[in-house]
Each structure stands twice: as C-alpha cells, then as structure tokens.
Amino acid sequence: MKLWIRSEVARLTNIRAGQSRKMGVPGPEGSIGKMASADLNKETYEFCIKLLGAEGMLYGSYEMVRPETAMSFDSIPKAFLRARANSIEGGTSEVMRNILGERVLGLPGDVRVDREIPWSKVPRN
C-alpha cells in the first residue's frame, strides 16, 4: 500500500510539473519527480524480488539476445537490475538532491575550489 501511495503522489507531482511547464513557469517538481520516481522504481522492484523469494535469484537466460523494444523485460529480476539505472540516467539522484538543496531550499552549495577556473584548465586525473 505504501508503494502504491508513493506511486500516486509521484504521478500527481508529474501532472503538476507538466501544467507548470505549459504555463511557462517550471518549478522544482521536475527534479523532485525524477528523483522520487527513480527511488520508487528501485524500491518497487526490491519488493517484487522479496515476493518471489528464492525464485527472485533466477535470472533466466544469459544468452545475448537483442530485445524487441528498448524497455522490455521478460523477467522481474531483469527489471530489478535495470531499475538501478533510473537513479543514474538523466542526472544522478545525488545531483538532483544538490540542485534541490541549493536552488529550492537555499542551502549552501558544496565547496568548489575551481569555481573561477575555466573548464579547460581544471586539473584531471
């Protein structure tokens, strides 16, 4: 029930974000929605794996087969493994938290010793 409630809240937040964008006033809802959806997706598939019990450890075939569609999953374990990518793609959840903390909550930003240095001069490993 908790996962369903969080899913419904995320859905309504995304609707609100879409309406704000249409009016030309985008707010933090996009970042919040992305971060919340990524976490919710991971937790939903963790719950599914727990429901499967020992069967959740079975991956199926390791044969290299091109999927029919980009987001098709033929098993819960594969979807569970793929859900981890949601917190990375499109901006990591950690970056989203920094953006929300600095821009929305007004928290101080991370210490940036290279703030005044052009990107081409920033030291790299």
What's the CA gap between 83 and 67, in Å, rounded? 16
What's the CA gap between 46 and 41, in Å, rounded? 9
Residue 20, SS3?
A: helix
Instruction: State both tokens at 92.
Output: 């990591």
Split the chain (125 residues) into runs of 10 and give each run's mean pLDDT.
Answer: 94 87 81 86 94 86 76 80 84 84 86 81 79
What's the CA gap between 2 and 5, in Å, rounded? 5
Architecture of domain 2-104: Up-down Bundle (1.20)
| pLDDT at residue 72 in the model | 67
What's the CA gap between 23 and 20, in Å, rounded? 5
